[in-house]
Structure 1
Amino acid sequence: MAQPAVLEGLLRWTPAGGLTPGADTEVGGRLLVADSWLVRGGRVRGLERHRERFLRACAECDGPPLRRLLEFWQDTAAALPRTGEWFPRVELTADSRELRLLLRRSPPLQPDIRVWAVGRPDPRTEPRRKGPDLDALAAVRRRASEEGATEAVLTTPSGAVLESATASILWWEDDTLCLPSPRLPVLAGVTAGLIQERARRLGIRVTHPERTLAELDGREVWLVNALHGIRPVREWTGHPMSAGAAVHAAEWRSWLDGISEPLPKE
């Protein structure tokens, strides 16, 4: 049986009515929680991990009861398209504690990335929860765009690398996989978590050293997230830094693309 026509755009959720189209004027506004992932041909990578992160974040900010969240998630999974490329976002609004699904087409995927090599002070108020600071992070990306880059790196007051505006940062020091320390104010990235787990299964050493941007000069650096997967930095702008050769990226991208799973049956 063919899937019903996709209700693209903003969908509001209620226990009685499920997901229904919302007025265009309702798109935006401050969010308490948000989570998003890539859907390609009805397959998703790490969907259960996104679910758990969303549920946990909603509980931390006194969101709806768990049974309502589970009902919303079930309706969301059923509404996701089984064809094409999409980048949906689940939301919990700040003003009315309303649950919403923003069903949007995926932007073009990027195999690599140009990054502004000037550390930006972290503007987030809730760095460990995705949602409240999306507008502030969008402003960081706009500033990076003015410098001819796609992304900018957030840093601590002492200059330690945290993450980019939309992605976790990983890098290689010889054959050691490195990430910022989880003690730092960083978002627990789903894709970064999958990569770390595979590295440990393969016996690859994983460490969490504090590094400044300058200390990443010449290294293989990745920006990773649920949309683009692994993007090696191909160029740094705004500062005399060189991008290291992407020695590991191709094999890891192939693995990451291969672990997507079919969406639940409707």
Structure 2
Amino acid sequence: MHATEDERYLGWDDGAGLVPGPAPAATDDLLAADSWLVEDGRVRGLERHMARFSQACGQAAPDLDGVELFWRHAVAELPRTGAWFPRVELRPDHTLGLRLRPAPPRQPAIRAMLWERPDPRVVPGRKGPDLQRLARVKARAVAAGADDALLTAPDGRLTESATASLLWWEEDVLCAPDAPGSLLPGVTASLITDRARRHGITVRRRRVTPADLDGRETWLVNALHGIRPVTAWVRTGLRPGPAARAGHWRHVLDALALPLPAPERRSLPTG
């Protein structure tokens, strides 16, 4: 990605903490990453983002120390006003960094297409290594008149899109893909499904093909945009279902945003 005028990069130094510096170039070799929306100092599921990033770092660099301390310093640096979409990164040289990025415009709905080529991801279950590959998938979808593209497993089942988790409704049942090994653990999807269960709604994982979504209310969800109902299936022949539940569930999801903790850093180790 290209840095904007308002974007800042802070690299982690074990002795000095987060230090401003030039933003490293985008890479296909990023080991781990995580991003989330901050609006006027409020975030949805921050602890889940932390857990996902920590787990990803543990998988990619088992001997890496200081991830928790880095995270706390990163959260302390987050702006408490305005809309931001920060990203934490573990880079190929095992260095950690924070990109402070203004949030791009949010979309209330989405036009989706099907990715008819093999899934390009190398590490589907970890956010980071495939970000640039997925950005190229999205760019091709945009060039074709869509906003994003749904990926498929070799057996034809749908998994997720280049940028979002897939959810859909079958009558009063909220469904998510059953595709072991091919899904990123989506924070926003987990917030929605957990809340649905608390409301007494049945949540079911199932194998899903494109034909199964014909005429159904289908959402693509992520930390930036929240819930986006699919309002057009580009070049597929599928019919979008009415977005009857999306408005209510946006309010439910928005209510889960909590204030960031007070910007206090833990002391760095001495010695």
Aligned to 1:207: 204
Q: Percent identity, please.
A: 53
Corresponding residue number in structure 1 for 2:78: 80
Check 1:31–1:184 CA distance in 2 against 1; reply closer, same or farther (3 A cut).
closer
State whether residues 199 and 206 of structure 1, in contact with CA within 8 Å, keep that contact through their aligned partners in structure 2.
yes
Corresponding letter in the other structure for 1:151: D
By how many angstroms is 1:264 displaced?
A: 0.7
Runs of 4+ aligned structure 1 residues displaced above 3 Å come to 63-66, 117-120
Counterparts of 1:57-206 in structure 2 under 5 Å? 57-63=56-62, 65-66=64-65, 68-94=66-92, 96-181=93-178, 183-206=180-203
Structure 2 unmatched ranges of 5 or more: 1-5, 264-271
Aligned equivalent of 2:254 = 257
Distance apart, 1:183 and its partner CA: 2.0
- Give 1:27's aligned amino acid: A
Taking structure 1 as the reference length, what is the TM-score of the superposition? 0.93
Contact 1:58/1:64 (8 A) holds in 2:
no
**How many angstroms apart in 2 are the aligned matches of 1:259 and 1:85?**
16
Instruction: Report the residue type matching 2:9 in the other structure.
Output: L
Q: 1:227 to 1:64 in 2, by over 3 A?
A: farther
**Does the CA contact (< 8 Å) of 2:138 and 2:149 recur in 1?**
yes
Distance in 1 between the 2:118 and 2:211 partners? 15
Task: Give the structure 1 partner of residue 25 of structure 2.
Answer: 27
> Unaligned 5+ residue runs, structure 1?
1-6
SS in 2 for 1:178: strand
**What's the offset of the Cα at 1:64?**
5.4
- How many residue pairs get aligned? The number is 257
> Structure 1 residues 143, 180: closer, same or farther in 2, change over 3 A?
same
Aligned pair in 2 of structure 1 residues 187, 230: CA closer, same or farther (>3 Å)?
same
TM-score under structure 2 length normalisation: 0.91
CA distance in 2, matches of 1:38, 1:61: 24
CA contact (8 A) 2:18 2:73 kept: yes
Q: Which amino acid aligns with 1:80?
A: L
Query: Partner letter of residue 88 of structure 1?
Result: P
Distance, in Å, in 2 between the alignment partners of 1:196 and 1:247 is 17
Q: 1:75 and 1:28 mapped to 2: Cα distance? A: 23
Look up the SS of the partner of 1:231 in the other structure.
strand
Q: Do the aligned partners of 1:118 and 1:238 also contact (CA within 8 Å) in 2?
A: no
Shift of residue 120, structure 1, vs aligned partner: 4.3
